[in-house]
Amino acid sequence: MPLGAFGYFEVTHDITDVCCADFLNTIGKRTPIAVRFSTVGGESGSADSARDPRGFAVKFYTNEGNYDLVGNNTPIFFIRDPVLFPHFIHTQKRNPVTNLKTPICFGTLFHCDLKLVIKLPFFFQIVVYRLAIVT
């Protein structure tokens, strides 16, 4: 289950020499934010103890529009193109018609972008780890 909070981000140091974003240009300036923590591949009812990536998202509500910052705790973040991230998350979800996980989605993602193959050992490490606990 995702957890979240609302608050504000306050600029405490002058960083105008490295950043030109309006919401970061004045010391003491406050920007409303929303922060969310959740499992990345988990689904409703999944255990908090499951060994899957954890993620966070911070939404800055700025005068220039919303700015989103997202991250997760995978040891190797294999997706270099942000457009592919939602496709990867889709491979971890259940089919809405059958309510079953679809391995074809997982395979299709790796087939379409061979740069993602570097992540395969990490996924299979999780599978072996889970099998070792069960046996």
Query: Which residue, among 51, 49, 54, 50, has the nearest Cα to 39 in the 3D structure?
Result: 54
89-113 mean pLDDT: 74
Q: Is the pLDDT of residue 129 over 50?
A: no
Q: Is the pLDDT of residue 130 over 50?
A: no
pLDDT at residue number 64: 92
CB atoms within 10 A of CB 24: 20
Beta-bridge partners for 39: 54
Write down the mean pLDDT value for the chain. Answer: 77
Instruction: Say which residue, 61 or 20, is predicted with more confidence.
Output: 61
Instruction: Say which residue, 5 or 44, is predicted with more confidence.
Output: 5
Structure tokens at 120: 């395969």
Structure tokens at 19: 């950043």
pLDDT tens column, 45-97: 676 666 677 788 999 999 999 999 988 777 666 677 777 777 777 777 777 88
pLDDT at residue number 72: 78
This prediction's pTM:
0.63
